[in-house]
Structure 1
């Protein structure tokens, strides 16, 4: 089986699984308990937190653990908006954000906040000039994702952070779910105030998210009832998953450059092959994450292609897993100017560490076979 859906979830690293099992077996006490078992469990969580601080070189902020990227995004965005509403009620984001950001913005809009969605160009990138034009005295938050989960488009986060340094009252949040542990990120140098990540996107366990918060930032919590996670996320911590997620990030960062270069070779090769197939259209453009290649088969339902690939032992996806069962045109593809046929016929290939050029050839051969069989069926249905 060839698994080309690493953007949705990754196979956990063997060392991560072993760590999680060991912690679950030995450290089952509640970290909030005062006895020695609770103290030992609490120390493990703090050690994992310190590991994130060291790995990401973030001495000017702190990390907290959530249930995933969706919660991290919601806590960052809603937490800032509700905390700083007395400063202003204007928020800037982009038209191609993940659903967890897009829908959080819609909720805030219903609460009386003004949301500006920056348009993107045909490659899926925002314009710094347009961002600057939309900043007002009422702007309290800018939330822009680092790598788009459908197109792989890499936004100019460092440049945005540099621009926002001119507006010290504007808080900068970055959804880095598709880039943390895969692309180099300099949180402090880039001027990022809040950054979201997810463990299961980098071979860690499901159910754990990361949220970096610069010192001095305050958030209104989403859930209350305890003092866990800097008084921002009440509830007993998932110790085993937290410790395992820190290990997953360490393993990812240790081999980041090696895996990035390997993925770049695969992505370049696959994009070249896709361009040779006239029925398919590549989406997005540089700069792009090498871990994602997205193309459309205009006029063809993507789930048909996905199921035919699976019959050939190849697993791929249409868009983010959160929206994959939605048959509406992709909001992201519509934002880059795709036709309705292109926006409803998108296929996403996302790489992992295990893939080779031979795997890409297998995928391309399968796509060619599928296209030929679908063209035949289409001709047959016209008579």
Structure 2
């Protein structure tokens, strides 16, 4: 089976699994314990934290270990909103964020916060001018994802950072779950103030992630207990997960901006464009590892099943919403015509893919179009 659903999750790297296993054997003690074994575990935990800070170019910043991207997004959105409420109650986000951000925004609206949702164009990209018009003196938080998980649209993060920092005192958070290790993203210069990263998108382990922040950017805790992670994320910290995440980040950032991903995407686009009536979503704005296609008057599951029967794994839209019968909020936001809305599939490349896999994808796609009776242009 050729796996082309790497935006949903990735195969853990063997060396990451080995690190996880070894740390669980040798440093299994609770890092909050005062005995020697606990101190050794704490030392490795802090070493992993420092490695991650170095990778992100922010040695003076903060890294909070979480259970993954969802928890990190919740901590950033809800935590920063409550931490800076004395400055104002206005928040800005986009209409195509991951549900982990959108549901957090909906919760904050019930708490008296005012949220503005930036619209996107047909390519899935926000307008810097709209962002400028929405910023106010009482804006305390802006959360804009770097790469959309469904269509791959890349937001102009550096321009956003300059605008936000020049026009307000708001904290700028970015969900970088789909971009870290594929596109440059740092907490320095024109980068955000806070980033969300998830291990299982970069050949790490599920159930592990981080919220990384510039120095001095501290959210309010949203869970309570023993006060671990500087009282921002209570619960016994998994040292093995932290070490494995640091390992996955080191391995993945070394391979970011792979030109073969872009070449593969362009190859498939050239094949798709031979046929009538297939739409390429975010064609000109997407990250090189994501290609989203829409077929008219069929369900995406039909394509997914055909591809699977022919040895290729792809997905419909995103894994987070693939079992939901409703049309994705992202597909609605970019104005996909009605007859295409249910026929969306997502192809996403990873480090284990090859030229041979792309050639097979071309063959299977062509077979599917012939099955549908679609003529060439």
Do both share a fold (TM > 0.5)?
yes
Aligned runs of 1:194-205 on 2, under 5 Å? 194-205=194-205
Matches of 2:346 and 2:178 in 1, distance apart? 13
Q: What residue number does 1:381 align with?
A: none
Q: Deviations over 1:153-181 (max 9, x none)?
A: 11000011011121342110000000112
- 1:273 paired with 2:260, answer no
- 1:292 paired with 2:274, answer no
Q: Determine if contact 2:50/2:59 at 8 Å carries over to the other structure.
A: no
Q: Deviations over 1:30-51 (max 9, x none)?
A: 1111111111111111000000
What SS does the corresponding residue of 1:321 show, helix, strand or coil?
coil
Matches of 2:222 and 2:317 in 1, distance apart? 28
Matches of 1:181 and 1:110 in 2, distance apart? 36
Q: What residue number does 1:105 align with?
A: 105
Matches of 1:136 and 1:168 in 2, distance apart? 7
Aligned runs of 1:1-383 on 2, under 5 Å? 1-257=1-257, 260-375=258-373
Q: Determine if contact 1:334/1:340 at 8 Å carries over to the other structure.
A: no
Matches of 2:41 and 2:78 in 1, distance apart? 30
Matches of 1:12 and 1:295 in 2, distance apart? 27
* Cα RMSD (Å): 1.4
Name the stretch that deviates more: 58-67 or 230-239. 58-67
Q: Determine if contact 1:140/1:170 at 8 Å carries over to the other structure.
A: yes
CA shift in 2, pair 1:169/1:50, >3 Å:
same
Matches of 1:119 and 1:68 in 2, distance apart? 27
CA shift in 2, pair 1:191/1:184, >3 Å:
closer
Equivalences, count? 374
Q: Determine if contact 1:77/1:104 at 8 Å carries over to the other structure.
A: yes
Name the stretch that deviates more: 326-335 or 278-287. 278-287
What SS does the corresponding residue of 2:166 show, helix, strand or coil?
coil
What SS does the corresponding residue of 1:183 show, helix, strand or coil?
coil
Q: How does the TM-score come out when normalised to structure 1?
A: 0.94
Matches of 1:119 and 1:168 in 2, distance apart? 20
Matches of 1:267 and 1:368 in 2, distance apart? 15
Structure 1 stretches of 4+ with a deviation exceeding 6 A read: none
Matches of 1:168 and 1:134 in 2, distance apart? 11
Q: How does the TM-score come out when normalised to structure 2?
A: 0.96
Matches of 1:191 and 1:176 in 2, distance apart? 11
Matches of 2:9 and 2:68 in 1, distance apart? 12
Q: Determine if contact 1:92/1:142 at 8 Å carries over to the other structure.
A: yes
Q: What residue number does 1:380 align with?
A: none
Shift of 1:322: 1.1
Shift of 1:74: 0.6
Shift of 1:186: 2.9
Shift of 1:374: 4.3
Q: Determine if contact 1:60/1:188 at 8 Å carries over to the other structure.
A: no
Q: Determine if contact 2:147/2:178 at 8 Å carries over to the other structure.
A: yes
Matches of 2:164 and 2:55 in 1, distance apart? 25
What SS does the corresponding residue of 2:167 show, helix, strand or coil?
coil
Name the stretch that deviates more: 130-139 or 55-64. 55-64
